[in-house]
Structure formats: C-alpha cells, structure tokens
A and B are shown apart, each in its own frame.
Chain A
Amino acid sequence: MNRLVVPAGLGLLVFAMLIALGVGTVSLPLDAVWAALLGEGDAQSIAIVRTLRAPRVLLAACVGAALSISGGALQGTLRNPLAEPYLLGVSGGAAVGAVIAFAFGSASPLVVTLAAFGGAAAATGIVALLARVATGRAEPRVLLMAGVVVGAFANAVILVALADAPPDRIRGALWWMMGSTTDATWGTVTRTTIALLVFGGVLIYRARDLDLLALGEEPAAALGADVDRAARRTFLVASWLAAATVAAVGLVGFVGLIVPNLARALGAQSHRAMLLVGGVYGALLLVAADVCARAIRAPVELPLGAVTALVGVPFFLARLRRVA
C-alpha cells in the first residue's frame, strides 16, 4: 500500500470538513470558518459554525468511519465482500426500536436513539443465538441466513406498527429510515464518538483475527484463531458499532458495503490496514455526501442514504477495474 494513502485521505477529510462548515443557507468563506472555529469574528458566524454545523460535520465523519469499519470487519468474518453492516439484522432491529418509539408518540431524540440501539442490539443478539443453537458454531452461512430472517421479521413488525399511525409519524419514521444528520447535537456526536472509539478500537485491535477468519474456518483454526469466539465477537461488536450509527442518524446505505472494497482497491492487504483506510475514506465520503445532501437542491435537504450512493457510485466505478 502506498504510504501516502492515509495522510492524503486525512488531508482530504480535513479539507472536506472545513468546506462542509462553510456550506449551507448562510454561506461562509474558508477564512471566516477558520476564524469562527477559533472564536473570532461575528457572533452569528461563530454560532452557525460551532453550534449548528460542527456537530453535524463531526457526526457525519464519525458515522462514515464507523460504518466502513463495521462493514470491513463483517466482510472478513463472513468471507463475503458483499457483506454490509445492515445485513445481519442491525437495520431491521434498530428500525423496529425507533419506529416503536415513534408509534408510541415519543418525540424525544434520546428515547428514539436508545430504542434504536436497543432494537439493533437485541436483533443481533437473536441472530447470534439462532446461529449458535442451529449449529453450535458461528458459521457464516448460518449467521447470514439468521440475519436475513430476523431482518424480514423486523420489516413486518415495522409495517404492522405503522399500519394505523397518523401521516406525520409515518413521515418521521420514513425520514429516519432514509438517514439524516439534521438533528445532530454535541450529545449525539459524543455518544457516536465513544461507540466508534470503543467498538472500532476493539475491531482494529483484533484485526489479525479477521485476516485468519477470512481464510475459512479450518485454515483459521490451523493458524491459531479461536474461530467461534472470534467470529461471534467480531459479528457482535461490528453490529453494535453499526447500531450506534443507526441510532444517531438512521439508515445510511452503501458506505459500509463499498468503502471496505475501496480500501482494498487502494492497496490495503491486511484487515487492520483495510479498517484504518476504510475509516478515513468512509468519513470523507460521508462528509462529502452530507455537503451534497444540503447543497444539491437547497433549501430542500436530500436523504443522506441516497446521496452516499449518488456520490459514491461514480467514484467507485472509476476504481472498479482495481476492485475486480
């Protein structure tokens, strides 16, 4: 891997974040953004940058990094480059938690956040348990099947819960399922950062397990991996990491699927390199997507989950030759 990949990504990320702080209803040039960050200039700019936009930009970066790390870890564990963080019941579980909170009329963001995280954690727990009961082992095939089944069940629960909900609640639930950083507060940023550091840290610390698990159960065991424990741990921690992002911003597709593949295309061979490179570029992708979501049809804000694909697909296609 070229040693400039990570520094270049970090440089681009910082640049994208500064741009993102300036873009919006009130447009600010770079020097004004910088001054506001340092607490200089007019009070209005400082308030816009520090209170409104900074949490949002940081949250986008955190969520992008978290989804990419989670996706990369799951792709290694499940030995499938098409695996993504929502595959194993995370999205369904989180959505059930959040929609139930909406359906019972809770407007408190903290309640919705906790309900979403609880739903996702419960769903992944059920998936892990199902796989364990079925085979006694953490086999990718069984985990995948259990995840898909639990996800389908969750979707059914959502439809039932929303069947007789008033239109405004349906709209709220739908908006949440499309993903948005609009409601970012310093509280959400703090919670998501902690999740990223703890869960992402565990995955990066145990990344060599992923190098072995990616070879298959028997080769991994032959090379010293405690296969079942390592697979279960990765699966749960990666899912909790994704659950924390779902709780913060709703569902943002594409990032967790594509960024790990992009990291491989950029030359990351070990899973540790893949997670680190993916973390940096995932953050970059989501910050850029968030700017686009605000800017493309301002003042209308586009769903973040759609914009990640709109921004990411051309970039990915340009690298497809390397990925394949």
Chain B
Amino acid sequence: MTALTLHFDKVVAAYTPTGTPAVQGVTVHAAPGAITAVVGPNGSGKSTLVRLLLRRLALREGTITVGAQALSQLDARAFARAVAVVPQREEVQMPLPVREFVALGRHVHRGAFTPLSAHDADVVNESIALAEMPHLADRRTDALSGGEWQRVRIARALAQEAPVLVLDEPTTFLDIAHEMAVFELLDRLAASGRTVLLVSHQLNLVARFAQHIVLLHAGRVAASGSAADVMRGDVLERVYDWPLVVTRDPAVGAPALLPLRGGSRRRDAALPPNTTP
C-alpha cells in the first residue's frame, strides 16, 4: 500500500455564504505511519474538516491535498480509493447483513457489474476480523448495539484498503474495552504505514496514542504538536472554558486531563439566578 500524506492548508469554510466561518485558517498535517488527532470542544470545527474532505461543504480558502494531488482534482472514486472516512453519524435506513454492509467498502474497487471477487471476500473477512466482529458477520445492521454499529462502520472503511484512514469520533458509544481495542487497532494500522487522522473527544487516550495533536478552538488552531505541547493546563482550561488540571497518567506517564468540579461556563453564569427553592 502506498503511503499518502493528508494535508489541510489554511482552510477556511462556512456553512452559509455570508456567515462566520466554521474553520478559519486551519492547518492539519497527517503523515503516514502516525496517528494525527484533531481535538477541541463541541463546535470548534473538527467535523467541518471531515465534511470538507467529503466535499459536502465547499472550501472558501486554502487547499486540501492527498499525497501530491489537490482534493479538487480527485474524482469521487479516486478519492475513496485513497482516503477511507468513517463519518460521525450514520443511521441504518435499509438494513443489510453485516457482511454485505462491509462489502460496500469494496464498491470503489469494482466495476458496475463486477461481482465480488475472492480477493474482495478475503478483504471483507479480514476487515470484519480486525474490527472484532466475526461472530456478528451474518447479523443484520438494524439488530446491532450502538457499539457494534460503530465497529461495523470501521470495518467497512478498512475494506476500502485506502492508505489514509479518517475517523470522526469513532469510539462514541463504545465501552472501555472496545474503545481501547479501536485505539490499539488504529495504532497497528499507523505502525503498518497508514496515515490515520482521528477526530476525538477522548483527550486522555489521544494523549497516549497520537503522535501529533491539533487542538481547535472556535475554528482556529489553539495548539499543535506532541501530547506534551498540547496537553497543557492553561491552554486546555482556556479552550474548554472549564477548570481542570493536567496530571500524569500513573501507569504510562502520559499527560492526563482531570476536569474539576464546581466550574461554571461563562454563558451559564450570565443567566439570572435560579429562584426555585
């Protein structure tokens, strides 16, 4: 599998033609062989980057490049062969057996009438195994738990066999063991030379697994670098607008964030006092 770099260069984009941009000059560089994480509060512009990548939102300024090519020069199929994306939200509309669902990831390698080849079937089975779901391969997608549904979607992205993997909050709904399993899987995929770009709220896990972290705040990059560069109490407290301390993970020594009790968000503090007894 060829190594490809995914690069967002000073991108600016807004949801309405005249509105305030949701991202304003964000640069993210995701290199092969590493996990790059984009973190930040709700509404800081993380998912906007994914939407730009999927071209569901137009770039106002800046460029996105995949390897040596500008995103705008890739057609939809060439893009999906280079970059596999697990979008944040997806609802089951028309249920399929898990194996058929994962096989949709092979679409981009097949012609209009080419049947699923033996190789395709192998890749589908491997992807299901990597996502630790072989026992569910014949279950229908409308009969899965929230966590199983997330893992099936990751398996489908793996079946695309793309050098770049982008995941938007893939561990939402996952319990601790499955969340760890996903992070370990991403770690192995990165170690095998893939480019992994991860949007996540799990700062403590990101600090342990990601080689490079980009912290977004209100559409701009607030900090960028290693876990030690980004996981700083003063920076995170300002960005998240909540009192917290950054300590050391007792087991592995990575920076770990601990939110404190008794904080109040500024906009809540501006509300009139609660008069009920």
Query: How many A residues, CB 8 Å from partner?
Result: 26
Q: Which B residues are in CB contact (< 8 Å) with A165?
A: none
Chain B interface size range: 35 or more
Contact of B157 among A208, A216, A222, A264 (CB under 8 A): A222
Q: Which A residues are in CB contact (< 8 Å) with B86?
A: 222
- In the complex, A87 has a CB within 8 A of chain B: no
Number of A-B residue pairs having CB atoms within 8 Å of each other in the complex:
75
- A31 to nearest B CB, angstroms? 41
A205-B112 in contact (CB<8A): yes
- In the complex, B12 has a CB within 8 A of chain A: no
A191-243 contacts to B, CB under 8 A, are 205-206, 208, 211-212, 214-219, 221-227
- In the complex, B25 has a CB within 8 A of chain A: no
Contact of A81 among B56, B81, B94 (CB under 8 A): B94
Q: Which B residues are in CB contact (< 8 Å) with A215?
A: 90, 93, 104
Q: Which A residues are in CB contact (< 8 Å) with B90?
A: 215-216, 218-219
Q: How far is the CA of A269 from the CA of B100 in the complex (A)?
A: 8
- In the complex, A137 has a CB within 8 A of chain B: yes
B55-A223 in contact (CB<8A): no
Q: How far is the CA of A226 from the CA of B54 in the complex (A)?
A: 10
- In the complex, A79 has a CB within 8 A of chain B: yes
Q: How far is the CA of A222 from the CA of B51 in the complex (A)?
A: 10
**18 extra A-B contacts, CB within 8 A, seeds A212-B104, A215-B93:** A136-B58, A205-B112, A205-B113, A206-B112, A215-B90, A216-B93, A218-B89, A221-B76, A221-B85, A222-B80, A222-B85, A222-B157, A223-B80, A223-B156, A224-B77, A224-B81, A227-B76, A269-B96
B residues with CB within 8 A of A = 50-51, 54-56, 58, 75-77, 79-81, 84-91, 93-94, 96-97, 100, 104-105, 107-108, 110, 112-113, 153, 156-157, 160
A residues with CB within 8 A of B = 76, 79, 81, 136-137, 205-206, 208, 211-212, 214-219, 221-227, 264, 269-270
